[in-house]
Structure 1
Amino acid sequence: MHRRISWIAAVAVAMVVFLAGCGSKNAESIVKDLDKVVDKMESYEGSGTMILHTGQQPLEYKVEVWYQKPDMYRIALTNAKRDITQIVLRNEDGVFVLTPQLNKSYRFQSDWPDNQGQVYLYQTLADSIIKDNSRQFATDKDTYVFDVMAGNYQNGSFARQKIWLAQDDYSPKHVEVSDANGNKMVEVIFNTFEFGKKFDKSAFDMDSNMGVTPGSNSKPSEGAPSPGASASPDASAAPDATASPDSTEAPDATASPDGQPPAEEEPTPAQNTSFSLIEPDIEALPAGVELLDQTDLQLVDNPAYMLRYTGSYDFTITETPARVEEVAMNEGDMLDLGFTLGHMTEGAVRTLTWTYDGIKFRLTSEDLENPDMVRIAQSMVDSSGK
């Protein structure tokens, strides 16, 4: 009798193990499901925290992502430490980088994000998993974990990424991107993620995203700001999206042999403001590079600064007050800086332009590579300037 009971117990345990095995999924079946999810996906909304680990101190941002099929995007990136929000917006009119607090907007002629991956976009993460046939797979509590190549990003320093997906609906939970040495470069922790989100018609409208009011947690689609927004500009004050031929730009260090900005460059009256020089973190500079000189400039009533670096690489950084007007950048590519999108113009001399906290930066070099440019730009975010 005892043997009979033991035999029945053994059979029961075997059945449980068998059924558990039948209920589990392998990487191939999940990839097929993931492909279907992306194909049928109409919209989503996600929010969480993004941490950039590329400098001495991690840079932390609140990130909010909206997507509406076929190609409408809204990404709000908020520097919690400095309460600065920038919004990357794609709609029928183009791609925009908005700073609501300062009533500044810039338009790009770009097919972003189709031509580059973003660590906070679901399409990028799913595509990375689906296309990497050498993917590594594991389970962790209620998530599926994929370790895949990070080849769909602009930053050449990104080598691999680990992506955690919820087992019940494949929504993203956590992303870690590392370099070839296994050092963590970027991390995104999703607090919420909802497929099939219904957005108001104005959710991806530029004026609605610029016309925010302080102290509200409502979404711009409901007539209020994204988290961290702290200004209420008049949307009717925004000029035409196309920049005029004589639009004032920041000084270009390559405009003359001595690196001085053109004399005719003048700011608009609305620019009358002052700011302090912002220098990149020494640790972010390529090995063998040092500061050559610093020049204080004056453009009518506004200061401007120029830093020249030399050594293993030569480059120049210029800083000016950002214009209120929206500028259409007709040539070049968008470069993901993590905290915002920059504008890269190629040629014998390459120039990376970005705007942050009311200051326009230009990094110009003949030999500096993109990862170094990104690292330098990121190191200047938390410096006190304005």
Structure 2
Amino acid sequence: MRKKLLLLMIGLIVILLAACGTKSQGDVVKDLNNKLDDLSSYKVDAKMTLKMGSESQVYNVEIWHKDPTFYRVNLRNAEKDQSQMILRNDQGVFVLTPALKKSFRFQSDWPQNSSQAYLYESLIKDIIMDKDAKFSVTKDYYVFETKTRYQNNSMLPFQEIKLNKRDLSPAVVKVMDPDRNALVTVEFSKVNFKASFNKDDFDMQKNMTRAELGMPAMAKGSDQSFTVKYPTYELKGTKLIGEKEMKIEDGTRAVLTYDGKKSFTLVQEKVSAKVASMVPTEVTGDLVDIGATVGAVTDHSITWSQGGVDYMIASKNLSKDEMIQIAQSVQGDAVK
């Protein structure tokens, strides 16, 4: 009897000790708040997988951040020798496309008011701001499910965020559709919260030069072949009625015309890389996240560059949300 009582007491002590070591959702959120206050710089490596159709696209992502508003996000698709960089400094927000020797400047507050699956402080804000966030604990992770803050969040309304218990660093983020299928997955492999930077690490011209020098020889060539892509997002009552592909002075242009209840035109253009201009092209419109890159959306158009190709959707009767959804789905399979 005494032995059984002793074993029972030991079991209760073990349970109590285990309970004491488990943090509540409130405890973790408080710790994240403190982490955000102390965050001054970081360097992060990650792998981002986009699943917009039956195939997946994988990007290696290198993220640099220096408090308060300097960012450098380098996205590279190793298989296709494609790279793009999003840069923010005192002069604005830039999107650099080395394959086209192009740079674009936006007057934008990116990334302050939108979710970004690969930015640590954005994930913390998503967790803090969602008062209905779900919380669970595994052996190695704290897991949150939150609402997203994308400008167009009807396509990607939820995300699952796994944080390492040891230091609250990001482990895995899954951004999900309304049926909770993961369309964007970010797996973090290396996080340095004590990063140091050189003076010109966020300079637009220096980063453009470095990006061009780092490109493989094939990516610097003049190959003008490209595959026409078709949006996989379907608008009820709208269908493809015309398709033209033509040679232009320095490349190829494809024009797809969609008509019906909602009509729009999708233009895709690949041109030879010219001498890089030291002056970036000023872009009007709101900066929006469309997957592996960002675009500029206005009341009647959305433009973006990806994989050495310039894209534009123009419409008089699509909403901004509809244009964003179509643009996101152009990353999917090249099917009609």
* CA deviation after TM superposition for structure 1 residue 97, in Å: 0.7
Q: Provide the residue aligned with 2:264 in structure 1.
A: 315
Residues 105 and 280 of structure 2 are in contact (CA less than 8 Å); yes or no, is this contact kept in structure 1?
A: yes
Which residue pairs with 1:171 in the alignment? 169
Aligned partner letter, 2:121: Q
Q: Deviation of residue 87 (structure 1)?
A: 0.5
Q: How many residues are matched? A: 329
Would you say the 8 A contact 2:301–2:323 is kept in 1?
no
**In structure 2, distance between residues paired with 1:301 and 1:127:** 45
Aligned to 2:309: 359
> Deviations for 1:313-334, whole angstroms, at most 9, x for unmatched residues?
2000123345754543353111
Kindly report which structure 2 residues correspond to 1:325-336, keeping only aligned pairs within 5 A, or say none: 325=277, 326-336=279-289
- Could you tell me which residue of structure 1 aligns to residue 229 of structure 2? 279
Deviation at 1:370, TM superposition (A): 4.3
Secondary structure at the aligned position of 1:204 is classed as: coil
Report the residue type matching 1:13 in the other structure: G
* Change in 2 beyond 3 A, CA 1:296/1:24: closer
Unaligned runs of 5+ in 1: 215-223, 234-271
Can you list the C-alpha shifts for 1:207-243, whole angstroms capped at 9, x where unaligned? 23222278xxxxxxxxx75xxx43699xxxxxxxxxx
Name stretches of at least 5 consecutive residues in structure 2 with no aligned partner: none
* Residues 208-247 of structure 1 mapped to structure 2, 5 A cutoff: 208-212=206-210, 225=214, 229-230=215-216
Quote the residue 1:240 is aligned against.
none
Q: Is the 8 A contact 2:283 2:296 kept in 1?
A: no
Partner SS for 1:89 = strand
For the 8 Å contact 1:280–1:376, the answer to whether it is kept is no
Q: Which moved more, 1:300-309 or 1:139-148?
A: 300-309
TM-score, with structure 1 as normaliser: 0.77
Partner residue, 1:94: 92
* Post-superposition CA distance 1:84-136 (Å, at most 9, x none): 01010001121111123442211111111113221111111111111112121
Instruction: Find the counterpart in structure 1 of residue 323 from structure 2.
Output: 373
Partner of 1:258: none
For the residue of structure 2 that corresponds to 1:198, the secondary structure is coil
Taking only aligned residues, the RMSD between alpha carbons, in angstroms, comes to 2.7
Q: Is the 1:202–1:208 Cα contact (8 Å) retained in structure 2?
A: yes
**1:156-305 equivalent positions in 2, closer than 5 A:** 156-212=154-210, 225=214, 229-230=215-216, 274-276=224-226, 278-281=228-231, 283-297=232-246, 299-300=248-249, 302-305=251-254
- The Cα offsets for residues 318-364 of structure 1, whole Å up to 9 and x where unpaired, read as 23345754543353111111111111122xxx111112233321110
SS at match of 1:201: coil
Partner of 1:261: none
Aligned with 2:136: secondary structure? strand
TM-score normalised to the size of structure 2? Answer: 0.88
Superposed counterparts of 1:2-17, under 5 Å:
3-17=1-15
CA distance in 2, matches of 1:212, 1:9: 66
Q: Which amino acid aligns with 1:140?
A: T
If each structure's strand is expressed as a fraction of its own residues, which one has the higher value? 2
* Identity across matched positions, percent: 34
**SS in structure 1 at match of 2:113:** coil
Q: Distance in 2 between matches of 1:193 and 1:209?
A: 22
Shift of 1:367: 2.9
Aligned to 1:39: 37
**Inter-partner Cα distance in structure 1 for 2:168 and 2:56:** 28
User: Structure 2 vs 1, CA of residues 360 and 151 (structure 1 numbering), >3 Å: closer, same or farther?
Assistant: closer
Change (3 A) 1:372 1:60: farther
CA apart distance, 1:50: 1.2
Q: Using the alignment, how far apart are the partners of 1:201 and 1:333 within structure 2? A: 29
Query: 2 CA distance for matches of 1:379 and 1:291?
Result: 15
> What CA distance in whole angstroms lies between the structure 1 residues aligned with 2:323 and 2:281?
22
